Structure 1
Amino acid sequence: MGVLLRLLVEDPWLIWSKRNVLLHPSSAEEHPIMRHTSLMACQLSGHNLEHMASWKPGTERQYSPHIKRYAAIWEVKPGLQRIRTMDPLHSISLKDQSLKLVMLMALMQAARVQTLHLLMLRNIAFGEDSVSVLLGGNIKQCKSKFNVHTIEFRAYTQDNRLCVFMTMKEHIERTEKLLTEFVNADGKLLISYIKPYRSVSEDMVARWLKTMSDSVGLTPRGSL
């Protein structure tokens, strides 16, 4: 309240208590809070930087105007056209197959890089038109008590070239032959496409996505 009073440029206006000033949303009757509440209108200067200097750390961020983290949307059509050319799966290189799988998983699930990095190869369950993959840890956007344990990817039957289900199935069959020779200690789904074929880091997964984005020249289509 002290900060509010220091920002006032005019005396506050007290809104006299009248019936139906504030209604309850469910009953359309006067809200019970009005029985012991006074409403006040305050005009502020808007120039709060001089007061922020004396605030505790973190308070400035709390009261600063919110800035959108995602300021643009992206046109994915060029990316899908590029993915369609990476076919048939058995004839493209392991590198292209890995990049295609990562991009499809990111597009189909809107998954973070951390989520893709945590996907596990063990106990993977293929159904008729979907595959369930376990996560090897907690994802940071969820509380540990209510965390996500599996991610499901569904088949895209309209175009097998864009089907994450078919791409993952082919990728696993291809990498299983390599893992018989090189040990994948932590059992992650995504492994490097060069020897010794070990699990890739989170930074590498991000680099794969950036490589795919740069190869098709993805650019923002407009502001949100």
Structure 2
Amino acid sequence: MCQEKSCFMFGFDTPLKTSRSGHPVKELKMCVYPMDNRLCIYVALKEYLKRTSSIRGDVDKLFVSYVKPHREVSRETIARWIRVVLDRSGVDIRKFTAHSVRAAAVSKDKINNVSIDDIIHYKVHSV
């Protein structure tokens, strides 16, 4: 992970689960969303890193447990956290899973009358 002025950049040395054969993802950018800091992944990630700095120790993974001994968390834990957030956000977790969070977010945007142009612009440019 590398933090720049307006983006966090994550590098990958192995293909991701969703990578197409022959087209591995080498870098993921999470950039500032200037329209609303409350919805900005960059601001949220910066705050998360600040709040977890005292418990992080020598863990070099992004997500750490908030329960002692504060080790890196498993995929299952992250999936559970995502389900909790989806549920508390009013998303039907019987219909959407942790793996379909992007689809759930777009569906929620559409239900809340966010314009298609705004949905496409942000989803395309933030990844």
Q: TM-score, normalised by structure 1?
A: 0.38
Name the amino acid aligned to 2:80: R
Offset from partner CA, 1:61-95 (integer Å, 9 cap, x none)? xxxxxxxxxxxxxxxxxxxxxxxxxxxxxxxxxxx
Give distance in 2, aligned partners of 1:141 and 1:133: 16
Establish whether residue 216 from structure 1 lines up as the match of residue 97 from structure 2: no
Moved over 3 A (4+): none
Rounded Cα–Cα distance in structure 2 between residues aligned with 1:201 and 1:128: 29
For residue 68 of structure 2, the aligned residue among 172, 192, 195 is 195
Q: Which amino acid aligns with 2:53?
A: E
* Counterpart residue number, 2:16: 139
Cα pair distance change 1:142/1:159, threshold 3 Å: same
Q: 1:194 to 1:137 in 2, by over 3 A?
A: farther
1:156 corresponds to which of 17, 26, 33: 33
Query: Deviation per CA, 1:10-48, whole angstroms, max 9, x where unpaired?
Result: xxxxxxxxxxxxxxxxxxxxxxxxxxxxxxxxxxxxxxx
Partner of 2:114: none
1:162–1:204 Cα change, 3 Å: same
Displacement of 1:201 in angstroms is 0.9
Paired position in structure 1 for 2:6? 129
Q: Secondary structure at the match of 1:133?
A: strand
Residues of 2 paired with 1:137 and 1:196: CA distance?
Answer: 28
Q: Which residue of 1 aligns with 2:80?
A: 207
Would the alpha carbon gap of residues 137 and 198 (structure 1) be closer, same or farther in structure 2, given more than 3 Å must change? Answer: farther
Q: What is the CA-CA distance between 1:132 and the residue it aligns to?
A: 0.5
Cα deviation code 1:120-140 (max 9, x no counterpart)? xxxx22222211012364212
Instruction: Report percent identity of matched pairs.
Output: 29
Could you tell me how far apart the structure 1 residues matched to 2:73 and 2:21 are?
24
Cα distance in 1 for partners of 2:55, 2:65 equals 11
Q: How many residues align?
A: 94
Give the CA deviation at 1:144. Answer: 5.9
| Cα contact 2:31–2:41 (8 A) shared by 1 | yes
Q: Return the alpha-carbon distance in structure 1 between the equivalents of residues 43 and 84 of structure 2.
A: 22
Given that 2:32 and 2:43 are in contact with CA atoms closer than 8 Å, whether structure 1 keeps it comes out as yes
Residues 154 and 208 of structure 1, relative CA distance in 2, 3 Å threshold: same
The question of whether the paired residues in 1 share the 8 Å contact of 2:8 and 2:30 is answered with yes
Gaps of 5+ in 2: 96-106, 108-127
Please show how residues 174-185 of structure 1 align to structure 2 within 5 Å: 174-180=51-57, 183-184=58-59
Larger radius of gyration: 1
Would the alpha carbon gap of residues 136 and 196 (structure 1) be closer, same or farther in structure 2, given more than 3 Å must change?
Answer: farther
Give the unaligned 5+ runs of structure 1.
1-123
